[in-house]
Amino acid sequence: GSCQGNSVERKIYIPLNKTAPCVRLLNATHQIGCQSSISGDTGVIHVVEKEEDLNWVLADGPHPPYMILLDGNLFNRRVMLQLKGTSRVSGLAVAVAKPNPPQGFSPGLKCPNDGFGVYSKDYGPQFAHCNKTVWNPVGSGLSYEDFDFPIFLLEDANETQVIKQCYQDHNVPRDGSGPEYPLCAMQLFSHMHAVTSTVTCMRRSSLQSTFSINPEVVCDPLLDYNVWSTLQPINASGKVDPEKEVIMVATRIDSHSFFWNIAPGAESAVSSFVTHLAAAEALHKASDVHLLQRNIMFTFFQGETFDYIGSSRMVYDMEKDKFPLRLDNIHSFVELNQVALRNGSTLWMHTDPVSRMNESVEAQVSNLLGILSNSSVGANVTLQEAGFSQPLPPSSFQRFLRARHIPGVVLTDHRTAFQNRYYQSMYDTPENIQMQYPEGLSPEETLEYVTDTAKSLAEVATVVARALYRLAGGANNTSAIQADPKTVTRMLYGFLIKMNNSWFQSIIKPDIKGILGDVPQHYVAVSSPVNTTYLVQYVLANLTGTVVNFTKEECLNPEKTPDSEKEMYDYAWVQGSLDPNSTSRVPYCVRSTVHLSKALSPAFELRQWGSTEYSTWTESRWKEIRARIFLVASKELEIITLVVGVAILVFSLLATYFINAKADILFSTPRDPGAVAY
């Protein structure tokens, strides 16, 4: 067999491979998240499954510091602040609660994106800081605390069981007294390079880049790309005629949770952007869209969870003439927010009471609400106004309102507080939006199985598409405009359950097929574009584009092809489906109006790292993130081993010295008696 050089290490340590760390994020004034010491943190494992178990860790246990294996139902603010205030805890491993905590769990803020929306002391002060409506009452703000010990999520139940078994075998207190050595211990590595705030870490990185040949960057801005397309093609590198009116439809495509890159976002993001994609497909199928007097722009914002990164950047680009559209081109704004948890059939229409005090805005908003309400007649969706005294919920639309009084509406499944009890948490999963499949389906059958959730979201998409058609000036009967539940169910499966499915494989470019991981996550991250962005881009191109008869060369180099109208369209050479009779694919060329635009906060463009106007979120860099368990001996045994080792070392040094000093006596060669000396 092959020689394994690390076999001793493998006999000592059991690595934990399926974990997700809590990492450090920074903004203009704070650092949040967790970190370990530079060499990792170690502690004796103690399993905490009920609150009484904490007493052992906080007071009674004789072997601090402890590494706690915490039951997911106890992972709440009260418990965490207790642990934060003691030196007897060196780290935390959190087991996922099964089923989801019934009381709800949201580590986000009660007032998401507070201070970066439209309401402030100068604009609707009565609505600022969620004075009127607390949108996320379950929010504990846990994600926005700073912990000086590592916290890891255990994603694999088998690994959790291995730790519990190790604890049972070695660490369970016997008759109220401490367990005997050796004890089961855990070591967590998650040392973060950035400290204090974005201002500090960006300044350090900037200085390094200026004066060092090998700069050590300590943090990176959260950034990605927004995805956008238009119903009628426009010149993406030019400027739209100031007279041309555009209706903007928007959703966010990112989410977040306490742990790094764990962001399922089923209700907080996926339900709305899937509905948006389905509405875009339904509209593109209408026969007379090229005749509509107003264009429609489908916009998918990235990084909205972190103080509206994507929308604030698009507004900034529009104001600075770095985008094909200007703010003046926007006729009206329709945003889809959380829409999957409708109470009965009701969908709520939220508007901004402050801008509606202006008569012309009020007239346009009333027209917008009227068209939306009329579009729901005969559908299984009832649209109701949330009320004039209600402010807008946290939404991208707020960033546009900061710049200009645009008539707009935000559609949600909640009138006041969120229906979503797992907002910005690891539990905002397909189960949260009641996605259910029959037992025993193959992956292919699951992909195609139309769930009730898909039917419900398709109904919302149909109403939105019909309303947009009317808003754009469409005069024909809208009954033919219909969102397809089959498309919706495929998207929900791909964006929530399994990215690596046959449909997604067939619609992306061959060179990025590596992005199709298993379980989808929708965190904005620092290396872009992330999987979600790519997939939204290619799904949108697939649903709204057309297949053109180009060769691979023509498709990859449309500027060399006559009649390609390169400025108006984007061309993508995609993998295509598997040929039923072989293992090869049948690739083809898709022409669409889908484009990407930067979603990097203007604060970094302007180098205003302490900005209060724009998002300043950065993510710290780190060297390694890993976790492992092993048996640890008592301090006495360790000291005895060390002393004996040192004694042997000293003895061997002395022995070597004396042997060396007497070498001529000890190792002299005896004379040959027959030798003659001259």
Quick: pLDDT tens for 614-643: 999 999 999 999 999 999 887 788 899 899
Kind of pairing, strands 626-632 and 14-16?
A: antiparallel
Residue-level pLDDT at 491: 96
Q: What is the pLDDT of residue 522?
A: 92
State residue 180's pLDDT score.
87
Give the pLDDT confidence score for residue 251 in this predicted structure.
97
User: 3-class DSSP state for residue 359?
Assistant: helix
pLDDT at res. 1: 47
SS3 618: strand
Task: Return d(Cα 64, Cα 59) in angstroms, integer.
Answer: 9
What is the DSSP annotation of 471-490?
A: HTT--S-STT----HHHHHH
Contact 196, 274 (CB under 8 A): no
Q: What angle do CA 253, 254, 257 make, to 5 degrees?
A: 150
Distance of alpha carbon 391 from alpha carbon 369, whole angstroms? 16
Query: Six-digit token pair at 627?
Result: 């976790």
What CATH class does 223-545+593-600 carry? alpha beta
Assign 123 to helix, strand or coil: coil
- pLDDT value for 5: 58
pLDDT at 195: 94
What distance in Å separates the CA atoms of residue 115 and residue 131, rounded to the nearest whole number?
Answer: 12
CA angle 228, 229, 233 (to 5 degrees): 150
Q: What is the dihedral of CA 363, 366, 371, 372, to 10 degrees?
A: 150
| Residues with pLDDT less than 50, the chain | 1-2
Q: Cα separation of 271 and 251, whole Å?
A: 10
The 10s digit of each residue's pLDDT in 102-153 is 999 999 999 999 999 999 999 999 999 999 899 999 999 999 999 999 999 9
Beta carbons within 8 Å of 619's beta carbon, 6+ residues apart: 23, 24, 25, 26, 219, 220, 222, 525, 526
Q: Give all strands of the β-sheet with 588-592 in edge-to-edge order.
A: 546-548, 588-592, 570-574
Q: What is the DSSP letter of 670?
A: P
Domain ranges of the chain: 7-191+625-636, 223-545+593-600
CA dihedral of 167, 171, 175, 177, whole degrees rounded to 10: -150
Q: What is the pTM of this model?
A: 0.91
Q: How far, in Å, CA of 545 to CA of 588, rounded?
A: 12
Say how far apart CA 275 and CA 340 lie, in whole Å. 9
The confidence score (pLDDT) of residue 4 equals 52
Nearest-CA neighbor of 266 among 253, 280, 279?
253
Where helices occur in 481-622 by DSSP H, the ranges are: 485-496, 502-507, 531-544, 552-556, 602-605
| Alpha-carbon 425 to chain mean position | 10
The DSSP string of 384-452 is: EE--TT--PPS-THHHHHHHS---EEEEES-SSS-S-TTTTSTT-SGGGGT----TT--HHHHHH---H
